[in-house]
Amino acid sequence: MTDTSLPASSPLGASHSNRVRVALRFFGSRAIKSAIVLVLIAVFNFILVRAAPGDPAEIMAGLSGGADAATLQQLRRDFGLDKPVSTQLLNHLEGVFTLDLGYSFRQQEKVATLIFAQLPATLLLTVSAFVLAVGVGILLGITAALHAGRWKDTAVTTIALLVYATPSFWIGLMLVLLFAVKLEWLPLFGYQTVGAGYTGIMHALDVGRHLLLPAVTLGLFYAAIYTRLTRASVLEVLNMDFVRTARAKGLSEPQVIRRHVLRNALLPIITFAGLQAGGLVGGAVLIETVFGWPGIGRLAFEALGQRDYNLLLGIFFVASVLVVIINMLTDVLYTLVDPRIELK
């Protein structure tokens, strides 16, 4: 049998080894920078949360029905609130490094347990909204650009502008009134039908029915942005010389759009998508509250009202980690869309 493997000194083997080294160097450098950024974010979040008015010990004592001085002192001692702020900050940073996010004042549960129990629901909502926004936005943006100045372009840009200018919570409420209250096609709120006991495909369909309204509400705003961004980007690329050359070679219009126009027009869209994907977690706070969706956005809203410092800081940290990961993946996606861009 002939050995077809390449020697290490061959040009192709050397090129592959070089790409591996570049990728490892890129991820190593990004990991160090990301760690520094996360530490700074953790410090900033701690200072910001501590600056908020309200004493969590008083809130906990009030909820338990006893707000005397001895109870307040005991609560502060139990949760480390009697220590200097600098000591509390160091303890928080130590917990971040060891992935120990602390204990929830109000929920009487480990912060990590609470977050990771509800994180899948938030990821399901945000990923669904993200896919909807990107898919619909790119499709409508291309349609508008290819029919620039005609009625399709006017209709798409007008609808996109209206959606962009309308508050998301109002759109959500109107969708609920129409599809849940009036037509009764979809459930009002929640993650699944309580007490139904669905399993397998029926459970997935039930969750999908509950997911539809919040995902559409969250995704519509960003779909409007992608529509306008894609339209502008495609129109710019359509006027470039290499597109005219591709048409002169006899390529069909769909081939020109797919191979040349869309590939080059995607870069600014990917840039915005990387920024927006992380912001979806923050945008999910309002949507999860409106639709009663049991995610970390709603959990953060409840923790804010209860001054549950540890839970808030834990949610902020997990959201920051997600944003850092998404930004790193965005840089990698650049190189896949445009091979001229190299990882550095």
* pLDDT at residue 335 in the model: 72
Mean pLDDT by 10 residues, the chain (344 residues): 46 58 75 85 83 67 62 71 79 81 80 89 89 91 88 90 87 87 84 78 87 89 89 85 79 77 80 75 78 85 79 86 82 70 62
* pLDDT at residue 53 in the model: 67
Q: How far apart are CA 173 and CA 258, in angstroms?
A: 38
In 189-259, where do the E strands start and end?
none
* pLDDT at residue 155 in the model: 92
What pLDDT digit, counting tens, does each position of 227-240 carry? Answer: 999 898 888 888 78
Sequence-separated (6 or more) residues with CB below 8 Å from residue 7 = 13
What pLDDT digit, counting tens, does each position of 73-124 carry? Answer: 776 776 677 777 788 888 888 888 887 888 887 777 888 888 888 889 988 9
Radius of gyration of the chain from its Cα atoms, rounded to whole angstroms: 25
Among 324, 110, 121, 141, which residue's Cα sits nearest to residue 228? 141
CA 141 → CA 134, 148, 157, 253, distances in Å? 10, 10, 8, 16
Q: How far apart are CA 51 and CA 311, in angstroms?
A: 16
Q: Any idea where the domains of the chain sit in the sequence? A: 14-97, 115-337
Q: How far apart are CA 209 and CA 188, in angstroms?
A: 10
* pLDDT at residue 19 in the model: 63
CATH of segment(s) 115-337: 1.10.3720.10
Q: How far apart are CA 67 and CA 50, in angstroms?
A: 21
The DSSP line for 299-337 is HHHHHHHTT-HHHHHHHHHHHHHHHHHHHHHHHHHHHHH
Q: How far apart are CA 102 and CA 303, in angstroms?
A: 14
Among 206, 175, 198, 164, which residue's Cα sits nearest to residue 291? 175
Q: Considering the entire predicted model, what is its pTM?
A: 0.79
* pLDDT at residue 9 in the model: 45
The 8-class DSSP code of residue 146 comes to H
The secondary element (H helix, E strand) that includes residue 211 is helix 200-238
